[in-house]
Structure 1
Amino acid sequence: MIQFADDTTRQLVWDMWKTVFGDPDDYMEIYFRHKYRNDQTLLYMEGNKAVASLQMLPYQFTFCGTEIPVIYLSGVCTLPEYRGKGYSRQLLMKSFDIAASRDIPLILLVPQEEWLLKFYDKQGFIQTFDPGTEALPSLNDLLQRHSENLYTAYREFDSLFRYKDMTVQKSFDDFRAMVEEAALFGFPPKKNLMGMARVIDLQRLLSLFADQYPQTSFSVSVQDELLKINSSSFTINRGKVERNGPPAETLFHFNIRKLTQLLFG
């Protein structure tokens, strides 16, 4: 049975995270204090035992010049003795339903191991972000420049990313959690991570694309094996999107993964 977490199951989520990922308690304390929320946590229960879970962390993401709400999936895990039963897949499908109900058109995640690429591909995710080769701006240097005011440091940090397209935007609370985590590990150099995306509301994303590229005209027929709402034909013309309208001269046929990669460039 799938349910949201509550105050009685919070410790179960902590214990599961500890078992599966083995992170140190001081890191987990930062994560659970800043990011964990009951209404963003799904559990798969066998009786009174939580055997699989995931967190749906809310962020803003800049897509085609517009900030949209996204879910970043974190802590997707199943206890070792309960694997192979499809529990994580069921939790992912439930997260798709929740994203749609909350008017969130896109889900992102960062797979921690190579084999997970194939697992998430089966759920309609595709790699859309390459791992970085250059270090990101140093948080330690930033904090030293603004040693008296964390919010001022955040303002400079935010100015580096706020107007970059295809970028997850961070709030001040997100930044504060980043600083605490980085300090815990001695401010190691950071690079962009390889990431995957799953489109929940294709028409909304196509509308944003069409608005940014009003001279673009084409039609696309899309197949989405899991989210039938995305399986349709769309015509993009003069900054507008029409579902099942008259096809443009140029017609493409894509599955949801390929179209997602093209939309993300």
Structure 2
Amino acid sequence: MTLPPIEAIIADLDGVVFRGAAPIASAVDAFAAWRAAGIPYAFVSNNSTKSPAEMAAKLTAMGVPATEEQVVTSSTGTMRALREGWPRGGKAVVLGAPSLEQAVEAAGFVLTEDADADCVVVGLDRDLTYRRLDRAVAAVLAGAAFIGTNADRLIPESGHFAPGAGAMIAAVAAATGVTPRIIGKPGPDLIEEAIVRLGVARDRVIMIGDQVATDIAAARAAGVFAVLVETGVANPLPHVPEPDLTLADLTSLRPPLAA
């Protein structure tokens, strides 16, 4: 399938723009070309442990200039969901990194460990303890809304796969029997937010990702053209849902992209 007329780019980060701490050269060159052509771009990431400002600084240092407004993370999406669901704020039990706690507080919530919390928000928490898990379970059992940043059960880390946010969300879900609302990919929320920030019609946007189960599925859910790039972690599973376009890297995806 050929590309539609494109006025903006949305891309995943790890596996598309960089792998760990190393930039992907073809991606750096591609973003430089799009920037020179005046084509705006934004990034969507399931990562809830880094703030948009931290992600933007990492991208800029790698040669892909970005501002925090161009980065939408699962913490960003969670903050938006909380503001929409509780316009006056409330109390929240949070299992997650400081960046997630800050996002929840920015939505007008007070952090608590009490069972009368309005909601429980669970992301990747590398310092998770049994006591804190117990507090989250108690709040959900008492009727608190249950929100998960993303369903990634495993994440690549230092040469191995480590438990991701999805593993911690699954623990609370198993203990309570309550199904959480998942904010990140493969749901459409992050892409929807990026489209709003870019200010373009969704049929003039492409989503670039390296994982079918999250990136391509999210693009499908949001109704945007899906490009799979094979620069990330190899995935032997069938490409379901199928991308609209598959590329070895971003070398061939150059301006002019708009009609």
TM-score w.r.t. the length of structure 2 is 0.27
Larger strand proportion, structure 1 or 2? Answer: 1
TM-score w.r.t. the length of structure 1 is 0.27
Q: Which has the larger radius of gyration?
A: 1
Question: Relative CO higher for 1 or 2, CA cutoff 8 Å, sep ≥ 6?
Answer: 2
